[in-house]
A and B are shown apart, each in its own frame.
Chain A
């Protein structure tokens, strides 16, 4: 009788532990996926701001046709991107082109700088750039938490092999520096 009770209690504890560990891992994976979709949302937001920006500066910057085309092409590449890696690459190209544009405006086009519509768009772009950076940070924090739950006890024994690991994309140092420069010059 006693043995039966002990077995039942141990069995219930084992099931409870399994359920808790499994659900914990699932909710951590969902958090990471949620953070990932946030990056996507912000990249879309960024590409939707570019046509307005070009519309605003085009009248003043007729001589900088080449640069404007460059910005427009970088945006098109971002819209076309099929996977995270392509999106990251296209995004960094767009960031460089925008950075050049803003430096040029600061140096040579005070009339654009004073334009209210332009400064409004510029703030929206700064903010979007920050949102992308924060969403990436939240994503990599969430993925790290998810992987930790798979690698540490009891996760490693119970559910470790049953979950696919997520991609932790590292932002190259040069990329990070470009972002820093951008936030100063914007």
Chain B
């Protein structure tokens, strides 16, 4: 059932965040071994994290601008506005602003939370889905808003950025000879520290993507709780699986959308923001 599903997903997200934090500690340890001091990578990591936090905050607004959204009107998008208002009642949330992107590829997205939340759909989505399917998609986006997923993912991306910057600072520190006690540590410790510096950014990225996929499953489960109708969401996903890939939903904004096409090959799955559609459909139908 959807309650257990949602709880299991939340638990998994907490574990993933704990491992991201563990990675930060590991990089700190590597800095101590390689440079003999904590401060360089910590300072660079903090600065990098702060920079990307600003960028991520800005990006909510930037997304709406880059995608050239326009506000939906009751005359043109009556059903869309109605379904959004219905789901706001079901989720007991304030009604989000509703926008449209002129793009023939069917997709949807949600940014922000609470009173500042925005739900957007492409013009390609509306004629493709029937009312129940659209309801499922909107419920999924409403769940992202209720779960504050924009904030969750921003945090994950900022932690990844901080780890990456810190690891870069480690290389730079070695190259420019910041280290004064380089011969005092044992060789095996140094080897492990180098390994950490090399692998930590990669691991952080993999974890962030795993968090993103977990939040997608969670939003699917919540959507079923809100609509009490798994068939609608499953039907929408099935139609999207057959639709042509999006033109303007490129990798930079992929994590915001309802589904993503950047996931065809096996290795690519690990780096994808979204789980495969087939897996999502079978999990929804099991609920």
Q: Do A and B come from one complex?
A: yes
Binding site for B on A (CB under 8 A): 31, 34-35, 38, 42, 120, 123-124, 126-127, 130-131, 134-135, 137-138, 142
- A152 vs chain B, min Cβ distance (A): 16
Main secondary structure of the interface of A (DSSP, over half): helix
Binding site for A on B (CB under 8 A): 78-79, 82-83, 85-87, 89-92, 131, 135, 226, 228
Q: How many inter-chain residue pairs (CB < 8 Å) link A and B?
A: 37
Do B90 and A123 touch (CB < 8 A)?
no
Do B228 and A131 touch (CB < 8 A)?
no
B89 contact from A120, A126, A135, Cβ within 8 A: A135
Q: Tell whether A137 pairs with B79 under 8 Å between CB atoms, given A126-B131, A127-B85, A131-B85.
A: no
- A39 vs chain B, min Cβ distance (A): 9
Do B78 and A120 touch (CB < 8 A)?
yes
Do B89 and A38 touch (CB < 8 A)?
yes
- A129 vs chain B, min Cβ distance (A): 10
Do B131 and A137 touch (CB < 8 A)?
no
A to B CB contacts below 8 Å, 27 in the list: A31-B92, A34-B92, A35-B92, A38-B89, A120-B78, A123-B78, A123-B79, A124-B78, A124-B82, A126-B131, A127-B79, A127-B82, A127-B83, A127-B86, A130-B82, A130-B135, A131-B86, A131-B89, A134-B87, A134-B89, A134-B90, A134-B226, A138-B89, A138-B90, A138-B91, A138-B92, A142-B92
Cβ–Cβ < 8 Å partners of A134 in chain B: 86-87, 89-90, 226
A137 nearest CB neighbor, chain B only: B90
Please, how many angstroms separate the alpha-carbon atoms of A120 and B82 in the complex? 11
B92 nearest CB neighbor, chain A only: A138
Main secondary structure of the interface of B (DSSP, over half): helix
- A170 vs chain B, min Cβ distance (A): 15
Cβ–Cβ < 8 Å partners of A130 in chain B: 82, 86, 135
Please, how many angstroms separate the alpha-carbon atoms of A174 and B163 in the complex? 58
- B92 vs chain A, min Cβ distance (A): 5
Please, how many angstroms separate the alpha-carbon atoms of A134 and B89 in the complex? 6
- B83 vs chain A, min Cβ distance (A): 8
Cβ–Cβ < 8 Å partners of B135 in chain A: 130
- A52 vs chain B, min Cβ distance (A): 15
- A140 vs chain B, min Cβ distance (A): 11
A123 contact from B82, B87, B89, B91, Cβ within 8 A: B82
Please, how many angstroms separate the alpha-carbon atoms of A53 and B147 in the complex? 39
Please, how many angstroms separate the alpha-carbon atoms of A134 and B95 in the complex? 14
A39 nearest CB neighbor, chain B only: B89
Among B78, B87, B91, B92: residue with most chain A CB under 10 A: B92
B225 nearest CB neighbor, chain A only: A141
Cβ–Cβ < 8 Å partners of A34 in chain B: 92
- A102 vs chain B, min Cβ distance (A): 15
Among B86, B91, B135, B228: residue with most chain A CB under 10 A: B86
Cβ–Cβ < 8 Å partners of B82 in chain A: 123-124, 126-127, 130
- A169 vs chain B, min Cβ distance (A): 17
Cβ–Cβ < 8 Å partners of B131 in chain A: 126
Please, how many angstroms separate the alpha-carbon atoms of A91 and B78 in the complex? 24
